[in-house]
Amino acid sequence: MAPLRRILSRYQIRRRVKELAAQLRADYAQQRPVLVGCLKGGFVFLADLVRQVGVPLQVDFIMVSSYGMGTTSKGEITVLKDVTTDLAGRHVVFVDDIIDSGLTLQRVREHLLSHRPASLRVCALLARESVLAEGAAIDYLGFPVPEGFVVGYGIDYAEDYRQLPDIYVLEGEG
Ligand code: IMP
Ligand code: MG
């Protein structure tokens, strides 16, 4: 297994998740939002987030393909599993692990908008500094991260490392 360099501790993550949850609580107090987690990488973040938000909400999941088993994007995105909640007229928050090129976000946004929600916002634990510089529309962001393949806290490399409580960069990967 490749060497790991820790970039975010579980304590830093916990503190930031609480802050994001407080923002969501303020913004969605009366709206019973639907938080749509992106499988699989967003599952730990979503699980921690919903337990901190403290207002009534619903949870659903979407699964999209893009990266296969490696670290290189194929540039195509397919919806492998759609939400089962009727999102029409609902306040939707898409929750993802990491926004890298922003392509997945763009496609998922178009897809979720086709369900005619009343509103759609994006909550990402991590986003590349490069995509932020390009002006990616992320309403709730945990941490900006530089280039380097990130794992842990739900985020995988070829299905490994999801179980790690902290976030690491895989040394020697893209
Ligand atoms: P994008 O379409 O390039 O923005 O890629 C988004 C998706 O690719 C993320 O939701 C992750 O599932 C995956 N991904 C991108 N960068 C990384 C990384 O550094 N580690 C693990 N998964 C990543
Ligand atoms: Mg993802």
The 10s digit of each residue's pLDDT in 131-146 is 999 999 999 999 999 9
100 is catalytic: yes
User: Could you give the residue ranges of the DSSP H alpha helices within the chain?
Assistant: 10-28, 43-53, 103-113, 129-133
- The answer, yes or no, to whether residue 72 has pLDDT greater than 60, is no
Structure confidence at residue 26 as a pLDDT band (50, 70, 90): very high
- The answer, yes or no, to whether residue 100 has pLDDT greater than 60, is yes
Q: Report the distance separating Cα 41 and Cα 143, nearest Å.
A: 16
Residue whose C-alpha is closest to residue 168's, from 158, 154, 159? 154
Residue whose C-alpha is closest to residue 90's, from 24, 28, 33? 33
Q: Report the distance separating Cα 44 and Cα 40, nearest Å.
A: 9
CA dihedral (156, 157, 163, 167) positive or negative: negative
Which of 96, 97, 100, 156 is catalytic? The answer is 100
Cβ within 8 Å of residue 106, ≥6 positions away: none
Query: Ligand 2 center to residue 67 CA distance, Å?
Result: 9
Q: Strand, coil or helix: what is 61? A: strand
Q: For Cα atoms 173, 72, 146, give the angle at the middle one, nearest 5 degrees.
A: 55
Question: Mean of the pLDDT values across residues 33-50?
Answer: 97
- The answer, yes or no, to whether residue 12 has pLDDT greater than 90, is yes
**Is 37 near ligand 1, meaning CB less than 6 Å away?**
no
Question: Mean of the pLDDT values across residues 117-135?
Answer: 97
**Is 154 near ligand 1, meaning CB less than 6 Å away?**
no
- Residue-averaged pLDDT of the chain: 93
CA–CA distances in Å: residue 86 to residues 83, 115, 117, 166: 8, 8, 9, 34
In the prediction, which pLDDT does 69 show?
46
Cβ within 8 Å of residue 113, ≥6 positions away: 120
Residue nearest to ligand 1 atom 16, measured at CA: 100
Cβ within 8 Å of residue 34, ≥6 positions away: 57, 58, 59, 60, 83, 85, 87, 90, 91, 92, 93, 117
Structure confidence at residue 75 as a pLDDT band (50, 70, 90): low
pTM of the complete model: 0.93
**Is 58 near ligand 1, meaning CB less than 6 Å away?**
no
In the prediction, which pLDDT does 76 show?
73
The residue whose CB lies within 8 Å of the most ligand 1 atoms, and thus the one to mutate among 97, 99, 122, 173, is: 97
